[in-house]
Amino acid sequence: MLVSGRSESASGLVGAHVRRRSGVSIFIDNVSKRIHPNTLKEALKGYGVVTDTYIAYWNRSRRNNPTTFAFARFRSVREALEAVRKGNGSMMEGYRVNMFLAYQKEKRVLKGRSPAKNYLSRRGAWRDGA
């Protein structure tokens, strides 16, 4: 389960970063689709302890593009910020990657409605009072 948390780094950066179990995730854009998760983990381990990686190999919007995006989870906020600061703009598998702290999108729920009613009303199947 993803939980949004607040933290402050040594550089004074404050933000809601993605926390899952223990760790802080970073978003990595422009990653080669040919990269293996272990290769990504090895490339990032110089910035800190990488606990998990995810590469979006099957992405509809980038179907004809040779690159995709990935997430990497670090043990601490300091390590994640170090990776973003030093790794952003670096070359990986022949592509210049962009790194950012990952932020969780907040779920939008209409006031006073249950999630089931929201889903059904968006689908046009059932609405309140109908």
CB-CB contact of 57 with 37 (8 Å): no
Q: Select the CATH number that applies to the domain covering 2-123 from these four: 3.30.300.100, 3.90.1300.10, 3.30.70.330, 3.40.718.10.
A: 3.30.70.330
Domain boundaries, the chain: 2-123
Model confidence band, residue 96 (pLDDT cutoffs 50, 70, 90)? very high
pLDDT above 90: percentage of residues in the chain:
51
**Confidence at residue 117, expressed as pLDDT on a 0 to 100 scale:** 53
pLDDT above 70: percentage of residues in the chain:
64
Q: pTM above the 0.75 mark?
A: no
pLDDT digits (tens, 9 = 90+) for 100-122: 999 876 666 556 655 555 455 44
Dmax (CA) for the chain in angstroms is: 59
State the amino acid at position 116 in one-letter form.
A
